[in-house]
Amino acid sequence: MENRPRVGVVVFVLRGKSVLLGQRRSSIGDSTYALPGGHLEFGESFEECAARELKEETGLDIEKIEFLTVTNSVFLENPKPSHYVVIFLRAALADPLQEPQNLEPDKCHGWDWYDWNNLPQPLFWPLEKMVQSGFNPFPID
């Protein structure tokens, strides 16, 4: 396949002061903690993509999906370099009591909630970069 930038859509699922993260199993960012998400499909809105990827990866249902920011990242660490424009959204659980399942165990070691002020290490580097820059996905109240 021709090497062109692809579009990723990822979502901060917010629950109280926590966010949902999973430890990746991938040639990109292997074993680092990252947000749920994946590739934008033809004809999809960002919100549809976030809800679909989250459902496929964790079984969770979300609502109040909102745009936060966009990044432009080149990944040189795997054998074939890749380049992603990534849309970051946030959302709330449709049912606050619903717990994530690891529905793609070949791609993730497991999902869990992590306090924003006590995030696990190592974070996937694009996420680490955002945190280091002071980015915060929570609404100001």
Query: Which residues contribute to the site for Mg ion (CB under 5 A)?
Result: 38, 53
124 binds ligand 8DG per the rule CB under 6 A: yes
Least Å distance, CB 57 to Mg ion, is 5
**Residue 1: exposure state from Cβ atoms within 10 A (0-12, 13-18, ≥19):** exposed
Q: Which of 20, 86, 87, 89 binds ligand 8DG (CB under 6 A)?
A: 86
Q: Are 50 and 68 in contact (CB under 8 A)?
A: no
Instruction: Point out which residues bind ligand 8DG (CB under 6 A).
Output: 8, 10, 26, 28, 34-35, 37-39, 53, 71, 73, 84, 86, 107, 124, 126-127
